[in-house]
């Protein structure tokens, strides 16, 4: 019995260690930046779970659920699940702006493992991403409220806000609204990363820093 449970305990212990390494902030990260970085994946998670639920439970089958114009060889359910997983992984990269793996390349990366991450290699993509995400989701929400797409054309009949009703549309709005925070939160975490690595940083032990 003990022998059977030993590998499970070892695997659980390794997962915990990996989780801590992936999330633990480096010294000098302000508390607000740490909280913002941790919140970002949760701004994306509800919409991803909603999309996956539409595949599993066939909620609002008349709606596109963000599938867009898919090629005939790509099944809609596969696209929806893949989009949800990739979106969550992309959101998780924000944690790298406060963790050690955002300052030193992990050793498993060929050629770069163990080397310092150039500050601009993290700041520029994060700043660009924050700008695009803020503009994209703000525009999408404002235009959809007036019945138009981002391109300015009328929303199609299979768009979720037109194809769903009742609790479905209420839940859809509830899960997608947090995406408005993704860009601004990423911009804030990016600024903290830039100030810590490129600008003047607060002395060790100063209020608002993580030890």
- pLDDT band for 185, please (50, 70, 90 cuts): very high
With a pLDDT cut of 90, the percent of the chain lying above it is 48
Q: What is the pLDDT of residue 20?
A: 83
Is residue 42 within 8 Å of 87, Cβ to Cβ? no
Task: For tokens 């998670």, name the residue.
Answer: 45
Half-sphere exposure of 103 (CA within 13 A, CB side): 16
Characterise 109 by phi-psi region: left (phi > 0), alpha (psi -120 to 50), beta (else).
beta
pLDDT at 2 over 70: no
Is residue 101 within 8 Å of 22, Cβ to Cβ? yes
Q: What is the pLDDT of residue 3?
A: 53
pLDDT in tens, 95-148: 999 999 999 998 888 988 889 999 999 999 999 999 999 999 999 999 988 888
Higher-confidence residue of 186 and 23: namely 186
- pLDDT band for 211, please (50, 70, 90 cuts): very low
Q: What is the pLDDT of residue 201?
A: 46
User: Which tokens hold the place of 198?
Assistant: 């490129």
Is residue 193 within 8 Å of 133, Cβ to Cβ? no
Q: Which residues neighbour 157 within 8 Å (Cβ) at sequence distance 6 or greater?
A: 163
C-alpha closest to that of 40 among 84, 85, 78, 95: 95
pLDDT in tens, 19-53: 888 889 999 999 999 999 999 999 999 999 988 88
């Amino acid at each position: 019995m003990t022998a059977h449970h030993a590998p499970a305990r070892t695997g659980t212990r390794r997962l915990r260690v990996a989780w801590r390494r992936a999330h633990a902030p480096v010294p000098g990260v302000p508390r607000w930046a740490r909280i913002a970085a941790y919140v970002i994946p949760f701004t994306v998670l509800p919409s991803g779970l909603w999309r996956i639920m539409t595949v599993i439970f066939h909620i609002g089958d008349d709606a596109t659920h963000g599938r867009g114009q898919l090629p005939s060889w790509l099944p809609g359910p596969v696209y929806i699940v893949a989009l949800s997983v990739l979106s969550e992984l992309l959101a998780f990269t924000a944690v790298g702006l406060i963790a050690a793996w955002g300052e030193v390349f992990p050793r498993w990366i060929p050629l770069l493992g163990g080397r310092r991450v150039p500050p601009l290699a993290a700041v520029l993509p994060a700043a660009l991403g924050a700008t695009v995400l803020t503009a994209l989701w703000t525009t999408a929400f404002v235009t959809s409220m007036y019945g138009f797409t981002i391109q300015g054309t009328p929303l199609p009949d299979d768009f979720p806000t037109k194809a769903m009703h009742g609790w479905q549309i209420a839940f859809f709005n509830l899960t997608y609204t947090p995406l408005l925070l993704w860009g601004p939160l990423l911009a804030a975490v990016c600024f903290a990363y830039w100030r810590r690595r490129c600008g003047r940083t607060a002395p060790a032990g100063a209020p608002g820093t993580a030890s």
